[in-house]
Every structure is written in C-alpha cells, then in structure tokens.
Structure 1
Amino acid sequence: MKENSRLLLFTGSYASTTDNGVQVYEFDGGAGGKLKLLDSVQGIANPTFVNVDTAKNRLYAISEKLNGEGVKEGEVVTLSIDPQTGKLTELSRISTMPASDAGQTTTCHINRDSDGAYLVVCSYHGGLVGLLSVDADGNPVRLTDTAVHTGKGTVPGQEKPHPHSAVFSPDERFLFVSDLGLDLIRTYHINRDAGTLEVQGEIKVAEGAGPRHFVFHPDGKSAYVINELNSTVTSFLYDSESGVLKTSVTVPTLPDDYSYTNNGCAEIAFSKDGRYLYGSNRGHDSIVVYAVNAETAELTLAQHVSTRGGHPRHFTVTPDGGYLIVANRDGNNLVVFSLDTATGRLSFTGNEAETSKPVCVKPAVFPV
C-alpha cells in the first residue's frame, strides 16, 4: 500500500436500529494489523452486507423495513465517506424490492459494477435478484428490473430458491448469481440500454450442495463457489468469450474427522497473487486454505486455522495481500491474521476488535 494512503475497513452486522450496525475501522498494517474504531452508525436495520465505492466516497448498506402490511422489504442506505476521518453521513434510502407473494424480500448481498452505474441485490427469502440504477453522484435512482428464480432443491433449507450472491465477471459482460436453494449458478447479462437482467445460462452443482458465494481467479480463467450445505468448494474453468463455466473439481472444506452436518460454509476469497484460495467454515469455525493450480482449477489442502471466534460469516484479504481479517458473528469480534505469501498459511497476529454480530467486512484504500 502506498505511503500516502490509508486502509479503512467497513463492517456490516445484524443489528436493530438502536445498535451500531455499520462501523469504520482504520487498519494499521505497520502495527501487525491493529484496528482502530473511527465511526459507528445507528438507525439501519440489519445492514448485513456493504459495498464501497472509493471513486465516489460512497458506502452502500443493505437494510430492511416493514411495509404497510407489516411485511419486511429490502432497502439500500447510501452513506458518504470522509476519507480523512472515516466518518459516515447518511445521504439517502431507497426500496430495493417490494414484498411479493413469496413474503418478505429482505436482501442478503449487494454488489456494484466498476463504473458505479448499477447496484445488484439478492433476496435470499424472496428468490429475487434486483437491479438498481445509480446516478453520476453515486446515488441509487430506481429499481430497473427484478429477476425471479423459481423451483426448489432436494434437502432441508432448499424448499424454495435462495439467491445468495451476485458477482460480475472480470470484464463485467456477465453476472453470476449463486442460488443456494436451486443448486445452481445462473448467468445474466445486463442490458444497459433497457436496464434489464437477461438470462444467458446456468450450471448445476451437486444436489444438496447449496452454492453461496462465488469468486473469480485473478487471471480470470477459472472461478470457484463455496457450497454452504455440504461443506465443499467447486471449481470451474471459465470461457470469457461465451461466459460458460465448465466444472473442474469439488473438494471438502473440512478435516476428514469432522461432520459436515455440523457445519455451514460462508465466504470464499483469493490471495492477491491467486496462488491460494480461502473459505470459511461455520461450525468447525475455521478458515480452510487451498493451493491453486491456475491451469486446471485443481485445489490442494494447505491448512485449517481456527478463526478464534464462532460462526465466521465473512472475511477479507487486505489489498496488499498481507493480512486476512475474519468477521466472527457469534464471537462478536474481528480477528486479524497475517498471510504468508509464500505458503498461503495464516497466523494470528494478536490483533482483534470487539464488535456486535459482524456479518461483513470490506476493505478500501483511500488517499491521505
């Protein structure tokens, strides 16, 4: 990281409107990853996932509200970021998806294209994917389209669709939505003239796997999904021209002597150089580390390391590739690990921060 820049961490959590649901920390890599709380924000219900736009100094947090019939609906809260102080100031709120026949449409994930022209949100309970337009100042304008998933899976927890994340391809020609309830990854194209989501195709994973979060290799030639329900990672080779995924391998996230029925996977992310892949186990409460063969998308187990807290819902690798920070929801803490770039292995730094029910942690580098 450049000397004239600073790394801020933005966290979202399970929270009532009277709690500090969104927090901002300064991360000091020179001090082994020491965390300093800069700001906290109340008044947002369950801001469990956030997205940062450093170009426009904007933070987008999902939230929820009750409509006139008392049914929960999703919304996005937009906040401005003061890079010098870390202070957040609320700018606007916009409904993402109104309640439907499926009931509540609260959201679980939010993403943004690199131009900041669109936000994409996923409704786990509603089986919906929403596309929102954003103006030049970084303010969401309106919901332009909603994709509806239908059907069900084969195991408990798959009684209906559950879109859990939406990830852009490296060139942003395609959008990949992991549906935990349908055991598939559906590919969309955003028609930017019409502001609509157009289905391009899909690929299935094993029945009962429950695909949750999805990530591309830094070279863009392969992709990986962590499967929540059967504690595995499935890798794919990727054709960037067609947007087609081809299944490579599926590997367990757990040691052989631990039952996957007591575990649910959550986040997945790469080391900066793409040599190592990381996934979180909730139950075993660990990060699994794999060495990656970038040519074949094969994975080799390298390490399991305790997250030093229960239910590691999310984690992030710092932009310089030197640290990994885990958000332990039930441990009520953020835990900092150093990342050995040669081996991919993680080591606890001794640095952590207490925070209530963290669900998401997102890094962003700002000039100072």
Structure 2
Amino acid sequence: MNLAYLGGYGSAGLAVLRQDPSSGALQELQRLQEPGEPSWLCASADGRLLYSANEGDSTLSVYERGPQGRLQRLQQVASGGQGPVHISLQGAWAVVAHYGSGGLACWRLDGQGLLAGPPRIVGTALAPGPSHAHMAGCDPGQGYLLASDLAQDVLLSWRFEPGLGPADQPQVWRAPKGAGPRHFQFHPGLPGQLYLLHETASSLSWLQLDVRRGALEHQLTLSSLPAGHTETSYASDLRLSPSGRHLYALNRLHDSIAIFELNAEGRPRLLGHEPTRGSYPRSACFGPDGRWFYTCNQRGDSLSRFWVRADGGLHYAGQQAMASPAMLLFVG
C-alpha cells in the first residue's frame, strides 16, 4: 500500500492519503486537525516516525505511524526559532531551518527518535540585515551540512560530524545579490554535484561541492522561466528524478514546472515547461515508483498529478481538491 502525508496551511492540518498506483489518485484515510500549519514533513529511515515543521506556531511535532499509516502524535515542542519551514533528519540529528528568525536549530534524537532539547542554534546570517534560512540538509555522504539563506543570498557548508553536528565555521558560496537561494538537491550518482533553485531570480545554479574541504564552486546558472518572460514569478521547489536524468523546478505565478535534462556529467539543459494547472505550486514530489509526479498548488487548493514519460516529459493526468496544500510526502 502506497501511503502519503499532506501538510497544509490554514485549517488544512495533516492528512493521511493512499495512492491508487494505476491512476495516481489519492484517497484520504485520516485527517488530523493539527494547529500550527505543518508546512514541511520528513520521516525516519525505518518509516516508523513522521516529523513536521509547523510554520504557523513555530513548533515541531513527532508522530508514530500505525496500521494503514494512521498517525498518533507523540511529541510537540517549540522549534527553537520563528517560522520553521524545513526539517530533515541527518543521522542522530534533526535540523530545522527558520525563515522567520533565521538560522538553524539542530536537535539531537534520543533512542526512540524523539527530539531531545535544548537544540543547538546555528546562525546563517553573515551580514547585517534580515536572515531567512529556507532549507538545510547533508550531502549523500553526510560529510557536510548545507543550508540556504534567502535573504542573505548565501549557501553555507559546514563539516558535519555524526556525534557532534555541524562545525563552528562554514564555507560560503554567495549568490548574486537578490537571487534568493531557496531549495537544493544533490545528484544521486555524481558525488558533490548539486543544484540550487533561487526563488527571487527564478533561476537554477549548478554547483560542485569539494568533499575534502567543503568549498562550493559555481559551474552554471540557467533561468527556470521561458526566454523573454518578464512578469513576476517566484521559484519554489526542486526535485530530481530517481534516475538522476531529469530535474524539475516549480515556478509560482508563472504556475509551471521547468523540466531540465542532465547529461552524463550532470550539466543541466532546459527542455521546456509544463503548466501545473493550479495556482502557486509550493512543492512537488514523486510517487514511490517514480512514475507519478505531484504538485501542491497552495492558492489553487489542489494537487495536480502527472504521468512521467520515459523522455522526462510530464503528461497531465488530473487534479484533486485539497485545501492550501504545502507538502506531500510518500513514506514506504
């Protein structure tokens, strides 16, 4: 049984969904009217626990998954900052990015997978002015922890020790002023290769992480919008196909999915755009077998689903009404 979890804004709460593998449609099994607006989710490696970053009330929640994936909340704590927008598990740590207050909160996990405080606070501001951390996560080898700060226009890289967490001083890659670095993805088969999506500039940067020193080197930047497009748009989420051959970037207001092809060296090339058919796509995900692709259309109150073609293109297959969806996560 393919199960997914959907967090959202307003009163949407947290929903448990079951996928029909043949049509890609999602059926609601449970809805928790959780306060706090769970806008980002992640799961433990064994799939036993689900974690949510609750952007609205600056808390974190931990849930146990039971029969048919139904959820029971085990823990809720203050996140360690304001406006948490991303949570990821890195070994024995949960790392939370705070958009409101800036910086990261690094939580140790106890033997049961619960959050053991107080968290270690790691700043992402290098200069005076606002700080809006948007994502944090380790490279596949878990030698480095990376974090983007949209307001500071930086991507930071700390050496990461499983028992100690991030080192004190990060390496810094500076994006062009006003670019607004937001989400990044590592290539699954090319060590150190990563792709960074810039929200304000609506662009994609191809970077190389030096796995010996943690330094980041810029290789290429491409627009995520069609040539000649001049209207306002904000890029949001970035997803790599399981094969590592295609990359998908979401454009809000343009309401499209930019499709990039990656060559054998990881170099991206823009192939084209697929309309989301829903307003303001905030995030996206692949289904468990990689055949289905979903977008959470925040202002459109809907989920769009697409069949993934062999050439990386997307075939629109339908839409379902879901109030203010923020993130969809499949858990095996």
Q: 2:323 aligns with which of 356, 361, 365?
A: 356
Name the SS of the counterpart of 1:85 in structure 2: helix
Give the AA of the match of 1:229. T
Measure, in 2, the Cα distance between the counterparts of 1:186 and 1:288.
Answer: 25
* 1:59 to 2:50 alignment: yes
Question: Would you say the 8 A contact 1:145–1:196 is kept in 2?
Answer: no
- Within a 5 Å distance, the mapping from 1:5-154 to structure 2 comes to 6-15=1-10, 19-29=11-21, 31-63=22-54, 74-82=58-66, 84-98=67-81, 105-113=82-90, 115=91, 117-151=92-126
Question: For 1:250 and 1:28, how far apart are their aligned partners in 2?
Answer: 38
In the superposition, the TM-score normalised over structure 2's length comes to 0.94
Alignment match, 2:155? 185
Q: What amino acid is aligned across from residue 320 of structure 2 in structure 1? A: A
What does residue range 1-368 of structure 1 map to in structure 2 within 5 Å?
6-15=1-10, 19-29=11-21, 31-63=22-54, 74-82=58-66, 84-98=67-81, 105-113=82-90, 115=91, 117-151=92-126, 159-195=129-165, 197-221=167-191, 222-259=193-230, 261-295=231-265, 297-341=266-310, 343-350=311-318, 352-365=319-332
Whole-angstrom CA distance in 2 between matches of 1:164 and 1:44: 21
Shift in Å, 1:245: 2.1
**Structure 1 residues not aligned, in runs of 5+:** 1-5, 66-71, 99-104, 154-158
| CA distance 1:281–1:11, shift in 2 (3 Å) | same
| CA gap 1:64/1:179 in 2 versus in 1, 3 angstroms | closer
Q: Secondary structure at the match of 1:132?
A: strand
Structure 2: gaps (5+ residues): none
Alignment check: 8 A CA contact 1:131 1:197 kept = no
Matches of 1:290 and 1:183 in 2, distance apart? 23
Moved more, 47-56 or 171-180: 47-56
Q: Structure 2 vs 1, CA of residues 130 and 294 (structure 1 numbering), >3 Å: closer, same or farther? A: farther
Runs of 4 or more, structure 1, over 3 Å off, are: 190-197
Q: Percent identity?
A: 26
After TM superposition, the score normalised by the length of structure 1 is: 0.85
Give the partner amino acid of 2:278. Answer: G
Shift of 1:243: 2.7
Checking the alignment, whether the CA contact within 8 Å between 1:124 and 1:161 is kept in structure 2 is: yes
Letter in 2 for 1:96: S
Shift in Å, 1:237? 2.3
Q: CA deviation at 1:333?
A: 0.9
In 2, Cα distance between equivalents of 1:345 and 1:37: 28
Residue-by-residue CA offset, 1:239-284 (whole Å, 9 max, x unaligned)? 323333211110011112322x510000001111111110000010
